[in-house]
Amino acid sequence: MFYFDAHCHLLPRKQFIKAMDAGITYFICNATHPRNWHKLLDVASTITGIYPCIGIHPWYIADLKSDWQVKMHLLFEKYPHLMVGEIGLDTTRPDLSRQAEIFEFCLKTALKYRRAVHIHGHESWGLITDILKCYPGLTCLFHRFSGTPSQAKQLSTVTNAYFSLMSVRPARYLPAERILVESDSPDGLHKPARVMELAERIGLDWAQLDANFCRFLGETMPMKGDAPKQLLTTQDDPISSQINLQNTPICSDKQSQPINSEAIK
């Protein structure tokens, strides 16, 4: 058995080490603006167990430079274990149309490189569901999920959905095989190691959580054995040449297949 944090953000290196000393083996860490992408990758290259994600958080869209899309693609070409995130929509923040434009570009990138997506939603699950219908086949982790059973079912119908929790209520209606736990550090629970307390408080079984974590990673990246694999770097990712991003339709007529939505009550 091992312990993991399914969603955190860039922390000082010593905080990752402290969390590992407390028992956390793996971290899915999100860099939410281009200025932090390389910082995260530098940390991930020196600490085994950090799975990095890069994206544009809807709170941080105002000061993007014109070359951020090119930089994103170059990094996905280079790192086969890099995921997309944290991205999403927040209707309480300004410029929703610009948020949606950036969100869709990142979804297209995830399809091109066949990577998992870590999604932020605040009062926007309906809009997010409508957009995801246009990008079938994605594996998505809905971070800090606190939506309704109906919203969870809709998200599970249009994506290969996993739900990362920080509260008890969603665990009552989500299927056990689709649940992960997170700290959302440095905010949220503040410390990655607190996910162990969280899982106990929610009443989740760590053996099940471990299986979910490995399945989630294994469905979108190369893995060996039963545990996650250390971040690797390559200059030649054959997947990247299989889909032309410019030819990816904004919306596809093909509908995704339901992913265990019947298990959601």
Asked whether residue 195 is assigned to any structural domain, the reply reads yes
Q: Which amino acid, residue 155?
A: L
Q: Which long-range contacts (CB under 8 A, 24 or more apart) does 223-227 make?
A: 227/2
pTM of the predicted model, to two decimals? 0.83
Could you tell me if 141 and 119 are in contact, meaning their C-beta atoms sit under 8 angstroms apart? yes
CATH number at residue 61: 3.20.20.140
| Residues spanned by the domain of 65 | 3-241
Give the total number of structural domains in the chain: 1
Q: What is the pLDDT along the chain (265 residues), one digit of tens a residue?
A: 899 999 999 999 999 999 999 999 999 999 999 999 999 999 999 998 999 999 999 999 999 999 999 999 999 999 998 999 999 999 999 999 999 999 999 999 999 999 999 999 988 999 999 999 999 999 999 999 999 999 999 999 999 999 999 988 999 999 999 999 999 999 888 888 999 999 999 899 999 999 999 999 988 665 433 344 433 333 333 222 222 333 333 333 333 333 333 333 3
Whether 116 contacts 139, CB under 8 Å: yes
Task: Answer yes or no: is 140 within a domain.
Answer: yes
How many residues can be counted in the chain? 265
